[in-house]
């Protein structure tokens, strides 16, 4: 109790009458005067008078409020100036009736509670009762409904607040960058990970805390203010809009059915659950739940929407928002195989774009380099540590390539931040040798990983599909930015913890001034991943990346084999262009997957799908439901 008091600003105090609540039987109907306090988080009432507060008698957390409305005069025990606070507690609804001295006092309280509850993210019901449920009549005196929980008969009031919207309307909105001048309402965001400042000028983030965004005009680092008034830069991908589903630890935005099963099975706890976007029905959601009951470990439930726009899994229990549905099923199995317990433990926060907000320059004294992971004509890649964070470091071999193009790669990478692209952390350019520092991926290149685990992985088409989907997501991001990769292949993707796959680029295809590399006739040119228009006219585009993606899918489903094995580059050109032939279906590859590959290998680039199309088709396959995979 003490901590509640010390941390909150009191907004309103009054002495008001309240009808006693007997939550179980509704028998007593007497009234008591109470010292009411509204603060940022709670509506509380105490013994005592206005001047002197006694013992706390009750407390409603504002996020649980579902409606704050007047009660029609004379409807409650013949009294005037009554208002009601409907709230949700232990998966049930309750209504607190409060009597004000006059309409003015009533109006100010109703508005204040309603506004503050909305500010705290309360999900208001669409309708309420302006009368009350009477025990003697066993019905509502406003609408003749017989059940205490019957839906309301009057449309509920919402305060006009521009930044408050129900979750389901918030989602499709694009975030628009607003700098200073036109900014009117506060942009309230919630941290979904902790962040320790790496540089002067960064702001610490604590998971679950709220922050006001002051400037989001930069892409990866925003300026924010915490509750205490501290200001500084934060990684933009560590916060989410306050009413977005993404602030909930049980929400996994666009993961596949396969991935949800992998995550829940790894956690292996009864009742472990998550909510994800449904891939078979865009805009809808699926609940995935782990149980040891029976042979099926993970069950998937569609979250449906009724005619009033309420969400439900079992139609008897519909609620205005998904968090409400989750809350209900945490307390009642309500038709599920078991009650919802905890979401999966999250392993690690995503990479930030750079280690701090400002410069990308890394102090070599903060950097330790270790074992070599690979080497090439440009230099070597080593394992390393930046102040205890594991990193991979590319060290330039002097004289092999212009320093400029080495730095150019890093510059390009500063523009990119996506969970399926290798993340740049920084560069060392002020000291020799110059270096590029990126996140470390524990298991190395995808082609090697596939070959190493071939026997196991070829039995798991869903895991292989999941690899393809992740690469596809990274490529969607590049395509959207009109960025052409030019060297997409399994050898240029990396595998990390929990089967995470990221698109990388080790070849530096676009910077090397080496004909062997850049000319399609050269020995180093990736002919086996190139479409006819690249082989004939060096015409690169996102559609040439799509062709390469098809070959990558082939690599994945063949367990890391070399495409067109045994064929020389020149033979491949002939095979693909002159004979118009294609790679054959790998033995263990499902027909439907091979169809997608063949679509990527249309001779005419304009007939190939784009990466967003591919993403949709692949996640449709991953959702199982409509199509059998094998
Ligand atoms: C292992 N783990 N090898 C690794 C790099 C690794 C690297 N983890 N990283 C290698 C790009 C550009 N640049 C790395 C992408 C890559 C391993 O080698 C470095 C880049 O990827 C990470 C610097 C820069 C891009 C160090 C583990 C090996 C650019 C993509 C276990 C064996 C533009 C799209 C065994 C657009």
pLDDT of residue 401: 67
Residues 536 and 560 in one domain: yes
What mean pLDDT is predicted for residues 97-119?
94
pLDDT confidence band for 320 (50 / 70 / 90): confident
Residues 24 and 46 in one domain: yes
Q: Could you give the CA distance from residue 179 to residue 76 in angstroms, rounded to a whole number?
A: 51
Per-residue pLDDT at 617 exceeds 70: yes
Distance from residue 412's CA to the centre of ligand 1 (Å): 14
pLDDT of residue 387: 87
Residues 396 and 432 in one domain: yes
Residues 286 and 368 in one domain: no
- What CATH number did the domain enclosing 433 receive? 3.30.200.20
Q: Is 487 a catalytic residue?
A: yes
Q: Could you give the CA distance from residue 276 to residue 282 in angstroms, rounded to a whole number?
A: 11
- What CATH number did the domain enclosing 537 receive? 1.10.510.10
35 domain-assigned: yes
Share of the chain above pLDDT 90, in %: 54
Give the position, in ligand 1's atom list, of the atom nearest the Cα of 382.
26
Share of the chain above pLDDT 70, in %: 87
171 domain-assigned: no
Residues 411 and 307 in one domain: no
Residues 450 and 318 in one domain: no
pLDDT of residue 517: 60
Residues 461 and 609 in one domain: yes
Closest residue by Cα to atom 17, ligand 1, is 444
Overall domain count for the chain: 4
pLDDT tens digits along 271-319 = 999 999 886 676 789 999 999 988 889 999 999 888 888 899 988 889 8
pLDDT tens digits along 445-481 = 999 999 999 999 999 999 999 999 999 999 999 998 8
Residues 147 and 291 in one domain: no
What mean pLDDT is predicted for residues 39-68?
90
- What residues make up the domain containing 311? 250-331
Residues 147 and 75 in one domain: yes
Distance from residue 390's CA to the centre of ligand 1 (Å): 13
Residues 478 and 540 in one domain: yes
Domain edge (last residue) among 439, 462, 491: 439
Domain edge (last residue) among 159, 187, 217: 159
Distance from residue 611's CA to the centre of ligand 1 (Å): 22
Closest residue by Cα to atom 32, ligand 1, is 444
Distance from residue 143's CA to the centre of ligand 1 (Å): 67
In this structure, what token pair is assigned to residue 324?
């409400």
pLDDT tens digits along 218-273 = 888 999 999 999 999 999 999 998 878 888 889 998 788 888 988 899 889 999 99
Q: DSSP string spanning 584-621?
A: PPPTT--HHHHHHHHHHT-SSGGGSPPHHHHHHHHHHH
pLDDT of residue 309: 80
Closest residue by Cα to atom 14, ligand 1, is 392
pLDDT of residue 551: 98
pLDDT of residue 164: 38
pLDDT confidence band for 555 (50 / 70 / 90): very high
Residues 455 and 385 in one domain: no
> Is residue 560 a contact partner of residue 494, using CB atoms and an 8 Å limit?
no
418 domain-assigned: yes
226 domain-assigned: no
Pairing of strands 42-48, 31-39: antiparallel
Distance from residue 374's CA to the centre of ligand 1 (Å): 10
Residues 523 and 451 in one domain: yes
Give the position, in ligand 1's atom list, of the atom nearest the Cα of 442.
27
Choosing from 487, 505, 545, 623, the catalytic residue is: 487
Domain edge (last residue) among 331, 348, 381: 331
Q: DSSP string spanning 297-360?
A: -EEEEEEEE-TTS-EESSTTS-BSSHHHHHHHHHH--TTSSS----PPPP--PPPPSSSSSS--
Pairing of strands 435-439, 389-396: antiparallel
pLDDT tens digits along 400-426 = 667 777 888 888 888 888 999 999 999
| Cross-strand bridge partners of residue 139 | 134
Pocket of ligand 1 (CB under 6 A): 373-374, 381, 392-394, 412-413, 416, 421-422, 436, 438, 440-444, 485, 494, 503-506
pTM: 0.66
Ligand 1, from 405, 438, 487: best to mutate by most atoms within 8 Å of Cβ?
Answer: 438
Q: Could you give the CA distance from residue 79 to residue 490 in angstroms, rounded to a whole number?
A: 75
């Amino acid at each position: 109790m003490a901590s509640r008091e010390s941390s909150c600003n009191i907004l309103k105090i009054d002495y008001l009458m309240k009808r006693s609540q007997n939550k179980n039987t509704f028998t007593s109907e007497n009234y008591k005067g109470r010292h009411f306090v509204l603060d940022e988080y709670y509506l509380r009432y105490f013994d005592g008078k206005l001047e002197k507060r006694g013992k706390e008698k009750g407390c409603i957390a504002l996020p649980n409020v579902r409606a704050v409305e007047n009660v029609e005069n004379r409807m409650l025990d013949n009294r005037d100036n009554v208002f009601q606070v409907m709230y949700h507690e232990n998966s049930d609804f309750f209504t607190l009736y409060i009597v004000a001295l006059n309409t003015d006092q009533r109006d100010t309280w109703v508005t204040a509670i309603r506004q503050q509850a909305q500010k705290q993210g309360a999900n208001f019901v669409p309708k309420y009762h302006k009368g009350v449920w009477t025990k003697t009549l066993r019905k509502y005196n406003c609408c003749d409904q017989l059940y205490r929980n019957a839906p309301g008969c009057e449309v509920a009031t919402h305060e006009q607040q521009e930044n408050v919207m129900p979750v389901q309307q918030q989602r499709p909105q694009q975030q628009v960058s607003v700098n200073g001048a036109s900014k009117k309402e506060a942009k309230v965001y919630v941290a979904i990970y902790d962040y320790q400042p790496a540089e002067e000028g960064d702001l610490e983030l604590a998971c679950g805390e709220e922050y006001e965004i002051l400037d989001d005009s930069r892409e990866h680092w925003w300026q924010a203010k915490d509750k205490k008034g501290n200001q500084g830069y934060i990684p933009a991908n560590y916060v989410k809009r306050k009413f977005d589903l993404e602030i909930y630890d049980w929400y996994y935005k666009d993961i596949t059915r396969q991935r949800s099963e992998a995550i829940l099975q790894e956690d292996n706890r009864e009742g472990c659950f998550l909510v994800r976007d449904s891939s078979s029905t865009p805009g809808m959601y699926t609940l995935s739940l782990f149980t040891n009951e029976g042979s099926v470990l993970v069950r998937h439930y569609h979250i449906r929407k009724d005619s009033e726009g309420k969400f439900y899994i079992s139609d008897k229990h519909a609620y205005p928002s998904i968090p409400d549905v989750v809350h209900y099923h945490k307390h009642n199995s309500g038709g599920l195989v078991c009650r919802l317990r905890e979401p999966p433990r999250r392993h690690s926060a995503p990479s930030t774009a750079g280690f701090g907000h400002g410069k990308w320059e890394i102090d070599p004294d903060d950097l330790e380099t270790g074992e070599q992971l690979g080497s090439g004509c440009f230099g070597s890649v080593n394992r390393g540590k930046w102040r205890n964070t594991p990193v991979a470091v590319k060290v330039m071999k002097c004289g092999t390539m212009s320093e400029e193009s080495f730095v150019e790669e890093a510059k390009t990478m500063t523009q990119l931040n996506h969970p399926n692209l290798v993340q740049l952390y920084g560069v060392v350019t002020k000291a020799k040798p110059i270096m590029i520092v990126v996140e470390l991926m524990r298991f190395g290149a995808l082609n090697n990983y596939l070959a190493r685990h071939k026997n196991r992985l070829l039995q798991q088409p869903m895991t292989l599909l999941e690899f393809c989907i992740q690469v596809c997501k990274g490529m969607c991001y590049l395509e959207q930015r009109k960025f052409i990769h030019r060297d997409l292949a399994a050898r240029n993707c990396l595998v990390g913890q929990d089967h995470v796959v990221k698109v990388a680029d080790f070849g530096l295809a676009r910077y090397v001034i080496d004909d062997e590399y850049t000319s399609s006739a050269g020995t180093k040119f990736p002919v086996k991943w190139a479409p006819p228009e690249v082989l004939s006219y060096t015409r690169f585009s996102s559609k040439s990346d799509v062709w390469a993606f098809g070959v990558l899918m082939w690599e994945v489903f063949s367990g890391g084999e070399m495409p067109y094995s045994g064929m020389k580059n020149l033979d491949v050109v002939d095979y693909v262009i002159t004979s118009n032939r294609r790679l054959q279906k790998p033995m263990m590859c499902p027909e439907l997957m091979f169809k997608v590959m063949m679509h990527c290998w249309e001779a005419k680039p304009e007939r190939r799908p784009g990466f967003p199309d591919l993403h949709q088709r692949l996640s449709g396959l991953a959702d199982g439901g409509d199509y059998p995979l094998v």
